Amino acid sequence: MPSISTACPQFPYQDLYWERRLLSVANFTRQDSRELLQMAMEIPIRTIHDTFRLSDANLALQRLKHEQVRGAAVLLP
């Protein structure tokens, strides 16, 4: 009887789920971050979102899938 480690054939790990790496492209210094946050406090930022109860998460997913959500979908308890 084969052991668990040899029961499955080997395949290249990078092919598993077409795994990708996420790499940062921003090179912000701490001072850059402070200045950005200061600017964000000074300008009028208006978020656009639709809220859903957590129990309606499937509805939110369906609406996202069919592009029926304005901005972001936010789940609330």
Q: Are strands 49-53 and 72-76 parallel, antiparallel or unpaired?
A: parallel
Q: What kind and span of H or E run contains 73?
A: strand 72-76
pLDDT of 59 > 80? The answer is yes
Note whether 70 and 50 are within 8 A (CB).
Answer: yes
- Residue 50 is classified by DSSP as E
| Residues constituting the chain | 77
pLDDT of 58 > 90? The answer is yes
Q: Of 62 and 26, which is predicted with more confidence?
A: 62
In the predicted model, what is the mean pLDDT of residues 25-36? 87
CA 36-38-42 angle, 5° bins: 115
pTM: 0.47
Report pLDDT for 43.
92
